[in-house]
Amino acid sequence: MFKKQTNFNQHTSNNQPVEVNIGDRFPLTIKRLGINGEGIGYYKRKICFVPNALPEEVVVVEVTESNAHFLRGKIHSIRQASEYRIKPRDSYANNVGGFELEHLEYSQQLKFKRDLIQQSLEKFQPRGFKHYQIKQTIGMDNPFEYRNKAQFQVRLLDGHVAAGLFKTGSHDLVDLPTCAVQIPVTMKVMRQVVKIIEALAIPIYNEEDHSGIIKTLVVRVAQGTGEIQLTFITNSPKLPHKRELLEQISTQLPEVTSIMQNINKGESPLVWGEQTVHLAGEEAITETIGDLKFRLSARAFLQLNPTQTKVLYAETAKALDLNPTDNLVDAYAGIGTIGLTLADQVDQVRGMEVIKDAVDDANFNAKQNNIDNVSYEVGTAEELLPKWLDDGFFIDALVVDPPRAGLDQQLIESILNARPEKFVYVSCNPSTLARDLVTLTRDYKVEYMQPVDMMPQTPKCEVVVKLVRI
Ligand code: SAH
């Protein structure tokens, strides 16, 4: 009995997890930034995530979440601020997603993105990872006003129409009258359309009872031509006061060249619905990259940062190092921007993409640029690549540019089967990249990794990886 008591005492003094309650406050030294750009420190050895805190800061944390694995807290006060802390341009930057690093000096943001790749490699440990050459992140001269697309939720707040983003982890809308990362004309159109909708009293979507019509506004500008597409995402095919709405947009916002409606009924985790209808102007806008023109439909993906897209594609071309006799595959092609940009350097390009409208754009884009050695198909990379290989298509060069989920295991197997001599992986997520490299490095070695900052002020990290067959 006595012995047990002693053990118990030892346990409490040394090992027993400290109980931490919501609302508790304690000082914490921040060690590093995590993948979402949040500060990370350790309280009695337990990991604690603190959004907006920076490495080497000492902050008083107020606990907002406590469980067996981690703590989360908000900054109550900063006792010792980082020398790299700056005042964010957007007053709401600490409340909504998309501005996680606006309080960190830009040179440090670039350093963080390179470190993030390192952290992911250390976690997954693909073969030879300790020797990979990770180059310095290529940043922007002006890391603001770069986003070509604003996709804002629309709700009624205090009787007024508000358009903005949800507070992190909630569905409370924060109205964004200004936004320092958006290309200014996208904000001008957004705010003017909000005024028009309010004046016409068009019903706004209400999440509680799924009533109302307008859910989301999407404004996308093609920087090369100045054309702007506006899309109303609605709860129903109806759009009350449609005629007046379109008339007013046409007189007040002549820069809007295409107006679309996308229907997404009721509660849905997705922003976009299946059906898109044409309301006014053109059905698409045209962007330019280098000397080429690209038709861009509302549903199709395009890189969000036109200035850095040129840098990203130049780095992709450099890493591929193509020959005129090469057959190139452009996997996860979007509207064919990568393949079409490289078409004059190779014999043939084949590409695939899951969104049909984007594939139609890609094939149209080949025609409108008089490029005849390129073809795009609708389908997943994991289905189509093995099919093309079975049909006898020989691949010299491959570029993959997948979404955040990374590559499907089946696709990795067919890549390892086909063994293209030239292979570049453009990744927007260092975690899935590091995971995929574990298998890919069975037959390839990483020559170098070149991070390119496509999304300043956020923790998002894009990297071009040159792989060489071994
Ligand atoms: N390379 C393009 C697009 C990259 S974004 C550009 O630079 O603009 C990734 C694209 O992959 C998106 O257009 C998405 O629709 C598409 N996609 C998603 N899953 C896919 C899959 N399994 N197979 C092929 N394409 C896919």
pLDDT at 6 over 50: no
Tokens found for residue 129 = 């990872």
284-290 average pLDDT score: 97
401 lines ligand 1 (CB under 6 A): yes
Half-sphere exposure at residue 21, Cβ-oriented, CA atoms within 13 angstroms? 2
Nearest to 217 by CA among 244, 243, 249: 249
Residue 157, domain member (yes or no): yes
Residue 414 shares a structural domain with residue 442: yes
Residue 201 shares a structural domain with residue 283: yes
The DSSP bridge partners found for residue 280 are: 259
Domain residues for 27? 5-80
> How far, in Å, is the centroid of ligand 1 from the Cα of 389?
20
Residue 66 shares a structural domain with residue 133: no
Residue 270 shares a structural domain with residue 335: no
Atom index in ligand 1 nearest the CA of residue 358 equals 13
Residue 102, domain member (yes or no): no
The DSSP bridge partners found for residue 218 are: 151, 231
State pLDDT tens for residues 440-466. 999 999 999 999 999 999 999 999 999
pLDDT of residue 2: 41
Cα 414 to Cα 320: distance, rounded to the nearest angstrom: 19
Residue 320 shares a structural domain with residue 235: no
Mean pLDDT is lowest, of 4-18, 77-91, 366-380, 429-443, for: 4-18
pLDDT of residue 168: 84
Contacts of 23 (CB under 8 A, 6+ apart): 62, 63
Residue 155 shares a structural domain with residue 135: no
> What is the pLDDT confidence band of residue 15, given thresholds at 50, 70 and 90?
low
Percent of the chain topping pLDDT 70: 96
State pLDDT tens for residues 330-348. 999 999 999 999 999 999 9
State pLDDT tens for residues 120-153. 999 999 999 999 999 999 999 999 999 999 999 9
> How far, in Å, is the centroid of ligand 1 from the Cα of 178?
30
| Residue to mutate, 297, 332, 428, ligand 1, most ligand atoms under 8 Å from C-beta | 332
3-state secondary structure of 260: strand
Cα 455 to Cα 408: distance, rounded to the nearest angstrom: 25
Identity at 275, one-letter amino acid code: Q
DSSP string, 292-347: EEEEE-TTS---S-HHHHHHHHHHHHHHH---TT-EEEEES-TTTHHHHHHGGGSS
204 lines ligand 1 (CB under 6 A): no
**Final residue of a structural domain among 289, 322, 346:** 289
pLDDT of residue 17: 64
Find the distance separating the first CA and the last CA of the chain, reported in whole Å: 65
Tokens found for residue 381 = 């990379």
Output the domain CATH number for residue 237: 2.40.50.1070
Atom index in ligand 1 nearest the CA of residue 399 equals 1
Residue 213 · residue 234 · CB < 8 Å: yes
Identity at 411, one-letter amino acid code: L
Distances (CA, A) of 84 to 56, 78, 81, 181, 374: 10, 14, 8, 20, 47
State pLDDT tens for residues 70-124. 999 999 999 999 999 999 999 998 889 889 999 999 999 999 999 999 999 999 9
Output the domain CATH number for residue 17: 2.40.50.140
pLDDT at 11 over 50: no
28 vs 170, higher pLDDT = 28
- Looking at residue 206, the DSSP 8-state letter turns out to be B
pTM of the model as a whole: 0.93
Residue 55, domain member (yes or no): yes
Cα 163 to Cα 153: distance, rounded to the nearest angstrom: 5
Cα 172 to Cα 165: distance, rounded to the nearest angstrom: 8
> What is the pLDDT confidence band of residue 19, given thresholds at 50, 70 and 90?
confident
Residue 282 shares a structural domain with residue 309: no
pLDDT of residue 13: 45
> How far, in Å, is the centroid of ligand 1 from the Cα of 338?
11
Q: What is the average pLDDT value for the chain, to the nearest integer?
A: 95
Whose CA is closest to atom 3 on ligand 1?
334
> How far, in Å, is the centroid of ligand 1 from the Cα of 287?
18
Residue 87, domain member (yes or no): no
Output the domain CATH number for residue 429: 3.40.50.150
Q: How many domains does the chain have?
A: 3
Atom index in ligand 1 nearest the CA of residue 313 equals 7
Percent of the chain topping pLDDT 90: 93
Distances (CA, A) of 143 to 1, 53, 98, 181, 405: 67, 21, 13, 8, 26
pLDDT at 397 over 90: yes
State pLDDT tens for residues 196-252. 999 999 999 999 999 999 999 999 999 999 999 999 999 999 999 999 999 999 999
Sign of CA dihedral 121, 127, 133, 138: negative
